[in-house]
Amino acid sequence: MQFTAQQIATLLQGKLEGNPDAKVTDVAKIEEAVDGSLSFISNPKYAEYAYTSDASIIIVNASLELSKPVKATLIRVEDAYSSFAFLLEKYREIISGAAKTGIEQPSYIASTAKVAADVYVGAFSYIGENAVIEHGVKIYPGCYIGNNVTIKENTKLYSGVKIYDECRLGCRVVIHSGTVIGGDGFGFAPLNDGTYKKIPQIGNVIIEDDVEIGSNTTIDRATMGSTIIRKGVKLDNLIQIAHNVEIGENTVIAAQTGISGSTKVGKNCSIGGQVGMVGHIHIADGTRINAQSGLSKSVISTNTTLNGSPAFEYKSSLKSQAIFRNLPDMQHRLQKLEETVQELTALLSTQNLEYKK
């Protein structure tokens, strides 16, 4: 598709500098842009690319000062990064057919389900008994929606998403392909004969508004009550969230993290990739956990940064790592010190014997 600089400036409410009829057909990074590309500069350290880039249109911050003319048409906005992200979202909606509605066949919708008129349901999808699918929801091909599931306005499920019975999704939730919401929690009681008896998992999963969940993530239903993902949470791909976990508002979690049952994570936390947490602990608001850390106890203080396995305070962990790296040298120095002490002890013993004579 083709857009002019004037159309983009109007959409972003930006100030146009250059040719309003300049046209773009794709988007690109500033260092890779060619004629016909739209790009952006948000960090001043990349300002030099404005003079060398072949991009036709560049979105820049209003505060950016340039020392010489540029050949590209500029659109000045308050925040170039967020403006470019906004355009990418609009572009994605266009190319993905986000505006489509209707029910493709073959698909199955139970007679007791309530589906809004403007919903999109892709082929080979299943919607169970008493499910409620509200205005603007997009369900791409091959999804499963169980009985008594509620999906609120403008939520989007990509192909292959599975939502088990009784789960509830809020407004503007985005769930990527392969994710399973509401599978059984890992609950088994050991018996005297060494076998395990499954504990029925009769709770559900509640996902609040404006949550985004990456591909192949799993969120288990509660044993009783609810596993809860609070509003604004962002989850990466390949995350495991166990039964009765609660994730606080606006927390972000990177790939391959695993959170054990009944753990409560506070709001505005940042959790790196491959972090592991034991069950039944509490993580305070604003906690930052570095990648591959392991938490075995609760974090009480807010806005703490943790590192290592077992995880502890970040600066202390760095000091410990520095000491650990220096252990071979310290061992060598200690051996030399021991040898010196032995030599001095032997010398003193010799001197004492001569003195006694």
Active-site residue list: 243
Pairing of strands 282-283, 26-27: unpaired
Q: Are 255 and 273 in contact (CB under 8 A)?
A: yes
Determine the longest span between alpha carbons in the chain, in angstroms: 113
Burial profile 143-178: b = 16 or more Cβ within 10 angstroms, e = fewer: bbbbebbbbbebbbbbbbbbbbbbbbbbbbbbbbbb
Pairing of strands 132-133, 150-151: parallel
At 118, the amino acid letter reads: D
Consecutive H or E run containing 180: strand 180-183
- Give the Cβ contact number of residue 222 at 10 Å: 24
> Which uninterrupted H or E stretch holds 304?
none
Helix axis angle, 5-12 to 80-95, nearest 10°? 110
Pairing of strands 3-4, 23-24: antiparallel
CA–CA separation, 351 and 26 (whole Å): 89
What the block records as the tokens of 206 is 């509640």
Separation of alpha carbons 243 and 187, rounded Å: 9
Contact 8, 28 (CB under 8 A): no
Q: Where are the alpha helices (DSSP H) in the chain?
A: 5-12, 49-52, 80-95, 314-325, 327-356
